[in-house]
């Protein structure tokens, strides 16, 4: 679902409140899933990065890998959750887990860095429905917004990170941002490299989120104080 500027200004206010991340993360870790849907959870040590630590905004940064999607990474505060499969035969089980994750975390605002995540969550829902899955409890997905942090359609994550003027940049991506390698790595069972790539993307997207928030907080405050749009 497309999010207009007025909604974004309101979201910029909303996500700055307090939230019980620990309870949510525990619920996501304990989500019911078949054994073939893998989950890895890490709490990132930001003290090694010039004391950078993400502000605990009420957000989920989501990043899908593969076409079809075979991995979903989430960043919530300082925790990264990685759900994935190692064989295409488990796609439907994986997709049901994805929908359940969205359902559990939907009180938070979802962000990504492309139009792909929004397109794919709708495609996943449609594909499962066409196969006869009962998705009545996931009807919200059809209108569920995932805000794209890109300034323009073809902005790269590298360009976006540099535009933040931050002295913090997360490196070490084994794919060197070449997402075309995902399928090759999947078929050769090199899952750790896909996971490492996804984590690096999420960490950099947490920096780009600050750019987005700065813009919409400033422009939203301007409209309220100068134009009286509050």
Global pTM? 0.89
Cα separation, 201 vs 203, in Å, equals 6
Q: Which of 128, 126, 137, 148 is nearest to 102 (CA)?
A: 137
Structure token digits, residue 96: 């049901």
Q: Compute the distance between CA of residue 130 and CA of residue 18 in angstroms, rounded to an integer.
A: 39
Q: Average per-residue pLDDT in the chain?
A: 87
Mean pLDDT across the stretch 10-14? 89
Question: What's the angle, vertex CA 89, arms to CA 179 and CA 133, rounded to 5?
Answer: 105
Tens-digit pLDDT profile for residues 57-76: 999 999 999 999 999 999 99
How many CA within 13 A on the CB side of residue 18?
1
> Tokens 């907080």 label which residue?
217
Please name the residue that has the structure tokens 């004391």.
51
Task: With CA atoms as reference, report the closest residue to 69 among 99, 26, 44.
Answer: 99
Residue with tokens 């073809």: 154
- Position 185 confidence tier, pLDDT thresholds 50, 70, 90: very high
């Amino acid at each position: 679902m497309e999010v207009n500027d007025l909604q974004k200004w309101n979201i910029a206010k909303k996500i700055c409140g307090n939230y019980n991340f620990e309870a949510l993360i525990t619920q996501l870790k304990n989500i019911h899933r078949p054994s073939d849907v893998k989950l890895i959870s890490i709490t990132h040590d930001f003290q090694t990065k010039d004391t950078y630590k993400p502000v605990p905004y009420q957000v989920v940064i989501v990043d899908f890998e593969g076409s079809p999607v075979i991995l979903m990474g989430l960043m919530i505060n300082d925790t990264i959750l990685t759900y994935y499969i190692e064989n295409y035969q488990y796609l439907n089980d994986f997709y049901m887990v994805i929908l359940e994750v969205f359902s559990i975390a939907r009180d938070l605002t979802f962000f990504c860095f492309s139009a792909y995540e929004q397109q794919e969550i709708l495609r996943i829902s449609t594909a499962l429905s066409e196969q006869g899955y009962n998705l009545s409890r996931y009807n919200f997905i059809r209108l569920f917004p995932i805000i794209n942090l890109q300034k323009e359609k073809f902005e790269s994550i590298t360009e976006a990170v540099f535009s933040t003027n931050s002295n913090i940049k997360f490196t070490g991506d084994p794919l060197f941002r070449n997402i075309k390698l995902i399928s090759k790595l999947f078929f050769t069972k090199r899952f750790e490299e896909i996971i490492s790539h996804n984590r690096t993307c999420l960490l950099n997207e947490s920096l780009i989120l600050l750019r987005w928030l700065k813009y919409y907080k400033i422009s939203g405050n301007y409209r309220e104080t100068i134009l009286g749009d509050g």
